[in-house]
Amino acid sequence: MILPIDLLLLLFLLIVGTAALLVRDLLAAIVLAGAYSFIMANVWLQLGATDVAFTEAAVGAGASTALFMACLSRVPRWEKE
Amino acid sequence: MIEWITLHIVEKYNFWIAMIIVIIGLTAVVVKENLLKKLIGLSIFQTAFFLWVVSLGDVGRGDILRTWGLRTGAHPILWKEAAEKGYIYMNPLPHVLMLTGIVVSAATTAVALAIVIRIYQKYGTIEEGELIEKELQFEREGVN
């Protein structure tokens, strides 16, 4: 574990997670949620959990984002106030 | 006091950040009106919980092992040189459990998204407030 990288990744995690929930464009929210998953995969590499890291990168950042996109193609893109 | 803060907050920063992310995700599940936003909040909540449990497997956190002359942070596969230097491996049991959890969370997300599409086909909206109004209107008109 490299401490500065670990702290920086956790800070990014907080910022990107909050941004994904605050932004009103749902497409941007889904892309930010994918970025969140990818940063989380890096955090797991820092923790030494390599197996969890590649499962998260494949399932969380890849498949889940694709499923959200497929759902978004059928519902309105903008969140109402 | 300083010692207490170091022992419980600084050295266990992973746990604290995981709990902050849990709060963010759970707040989104409760407060947000849009159903897709609720689902994004739910997946963030799940990931934060996984972060907490995987951090429990990092047995070196909290300075227990350093007093025994051991170091942590090695990957679950332990090689000879690392063992000679006093490294011990990460506990792989929480990793395996959370691996299952990630796959289950993807499955629940898929089912929930299918339900969201079905709700939009029936009610024409995915905002929670409008959804309740539509439901009451349908009930008055006797439409199913």
- Which structural domain range is residue A9 located in? 3-72
User: Each residue of A10-26: pLDDT tens digit?
Assistant: 999 999 999 999 999 99
Domains of chain A: total: 1
Nearest to A47 among B34, B58, B109 (CB): B58
pLDDT by residue, tens only, chain B of 144 residues: 887 777 777 777 888 899 999 999 999 999 999 999 999 999 999 999 999 988 887 765 545 555 555 566 666 666 677 667 666 677 788 889 999 999 999 999 999 999 999 999 999 889 998 999 999 998 898 876
Q: Within an 8 Å CB–CB cutoff, is residue B73 touching chain A? A: yes
User: Each residue of A46-70: pLDDT tens digit?
Assistant: 888 888 999 999 998 999 999 999 9
CB pairs under 8 A between A and B: 125
Q: How far apart are CA A26 and CA B131, in angstroms?
A: 18
Is residue A14 included in any domain, yes or no? Answer: yes
Is residue A78 included in any domain, yes or no? Answer: no
Amino acid at A23: V
Kindly list the residues from chain B whose CB atom is less than 8 angstroms away from the CB atom of residue A46.
Answer: none
Is residue A80 included in any domain, yes or no? Answer: no
Question: What's the pLDDT at B117?
Answer: 95
Is residue A13 included in any domain, yes or no? Answer: yes
The answer to whether the CB of A48 falls within 8 A of the CB of A1 is: yes
Q: How far apart are CA B101 and CA B85, in angstroms?
A: 34
CATH number of the domain enclosing B9: 1.10.287.3510
Kindly list the residues from chain B whose CB atom is less than 8 angstroms away from the CB atom of residue A38.
Answer: none
- Which structural domain range is residue B87 located in? 2-141
The answer to whether the CB of B80 falls within 8 A of the CB of B94 is: no
Query: Could you tell me which residues come within 8 angstroms of residue B85 by beta carbon, excluding any fewer than 6 positions away?
Result: B71
The answer to whether the CB of B8 falls within 8 A of the CB of B62 is: no
Interface test with B, best of A24, A50, A55 (most B CBs within 10 A): A55
Closest CA to B47 of B25, B67, B69: B25
Q: How far apart are CA A32 and CA B124, in angstroms?
A: 26
Kindly list the residues from chain B whose CB atom is less than 8 angstroms away from the CB atom of residue A44.
Answer: 54
Is residue A77 included in any domain, yes or no? Answer: no
- Interchain proximity B17–A26, CB inside 8 Å: no
Pairing relation of β-strands B87-89 and B71-74? parallel
Q: How far apart are CA B41 and CA B98, in angstroms?
A: 18
Domains of chain B: total: 1
